Amino acid sequence: MNLFDRYITRNFLQAYLYCIIGFISIWFIFDISDSISTFLDQHVGFGRVLEYYGTQIPQILVILLPVSLLLALLFVLGRMSRANEIVSMLTAGIGLIRVLTPLFLLAVLTTAICFALNYSLAPHAEMARKLFFADKSATGAEGQIFRNRRDSRTWFIQRLRHNSDVFDNIEVLQQDSSDHITMAFLAARAEFQPGENAWTLSQAKVVHYDPAGNITSEQIEPSLVVRHWSETPYRLRSANMRAEFMSLPELRGVVDAWVEQYIALGKIPWINHVEIFENRGEMMGASNPHPHCQIWANASLPNLPARELASFREYQEQKHSCLLCDYLKLELQLNLRVVCQNEAFAVVVPFWAVWPFESLVLSKRHIASLDQLSEQERDLLGDILRRITVRYDNLFETAFPYSMGFHQKPTDGSAHEEWHLHAHYFPPLLRSATIQKFMVGYELLGSPQRDVTPESAANRLRETGDIHYLDRS
């Protein structure tokens, strides 16, 4: 870097850092004024306060860095213009593009930093805020039940801590192949040691059971180290995380698990259909409050996928083309019912939608199932699912209930070139977080009716934006 570049860069960085520090200071003053009473009432230590604000900074930087960049550019260029420095540089034979090159490179660096923060750290900010304030509440944070089916172990955790390897008041049940409890571990505190891949249980009680369920022995241990458990803190916490609060690497892990299960179940000879779906919210009948999906595998093809298969085949025979490929092409051309999209997927409100804010997730490339996704497409599937769930939450500023599921090609051994991978979202809410649409009366006995047009529904979802409403405050 020559003297000219250092001069431009130094002037810009000085203004840039002042803007960043100024904005963060303003945010900090407002946030501390809102939270200080909670900190004092709950006797939160200085270290915990620093930990809390450390989790919030990435989210704030994603918002503030572009604004600070713009203001710093305006300030530096304006000051250089008033001092006739730009005119002098141009007179000296230095082109305008050469003058702006260092600033352009710094803008690219800012974009990369924002992308990295939004990719990994920023999505956790609101969840960290919830868990932090719940962590010190009088009744404790929301509990967690985690079932490790592979190792036949069940965890009951009273208190979770965000980005911490410590859990309070736990009970771990070890079961045999018949789900009979063989051992129980109770501890006031459990701490994971990453370097040793071990759990340290404080004030632990170990109980052994016989096959009939009778207690055979009990042991009290001030400190017990367990080295053979496969669970990690992230794995235990992940069951409490919704898609809109997960980072892209974490969402990629979910997509990989779906692919793994689709392949494994599809290889079973008598299974001809694998349905991956999620019921979210009590309104949709979700019996477990924590986020989770389900996978059902059938010997026969269910009614809705069977009708889709017949339509795909008929269209291919008549048009020699893919039905949903052609449909997506038309939707992207019209751009009236498109909610959001990325390089590999698009979300549209289909013109035949029955539920007010029903949507359809379509792959842009013609593939038939999740196992045909490329590595990049798996990442982009997580991205598009986060975008649509954020928009749903933003619509009525609530944890939006829905039933969603993937429709993939049957696993009957045929290629099914006519099939196109897609996912349906069926949300029930109509006008607010508490008012839902009921499919009753004429709609149940005659024909469903639209409460809002597909174009209006798509526009409302589109305008809610990619930033979760809880992250805007």
Q: Give catalytic residue positions.
A: 292
The Cα–Cα gap between 253 and 378 comes to: 9
Task: Output the CA–CA distances (angstroms, integers) from residue 117 to 31, 69, 335, 344, 468, in the order listed.
Answer: 21, 16, 30, 22, 15
Angle between helix axes 3-41 and 46-82 (nearest 10 degrees) is 150
Task: State the distance between the two ends of the chain, measured CA to CA, in whole angstroms.
Answer: 41
The Cα–Cα gap between 63 and 118 comes to: 10
Tokens of 269: 């000879």
Phi-psi category of 281—alpha, beta or left, where left has phi over 0 and alpha has psi -120 to 50? left
8 Å CB contact between 86 and 80 = yes
Strand partners, 417: none
The Cα–Cα gap between 465 and 392 comes to: 10
- Cα torsion 321, 324, 326, 329: sign: negative
Identify the CA nearest to 184 among candidates 228, 224, 146, 215. Answer: 215
Angle between helix axes 323-334 and 303-319 (nearest 10 degrees) is 80
Number of Cβ within a 10 Å radius of residue 153: 18
User: Which H/E stretch holds residue 327?
Assistant: helix 323-334
The Cα–Cα gap between 395 and 435 comes to: 13
Q: Which residues contact 304 (CB under 8 A, 6 or more apart)?
A: 407
Tokens of 336: 């009236």
Tokens of 313: 């085949």
8 Å CB contact between 356 and 430 = yes
Number of Cβ within a 10 Å radius of residue 252: 18
| Tally of CA atoms within 13 A in the half-sphere of 368 that contains its CB | 18
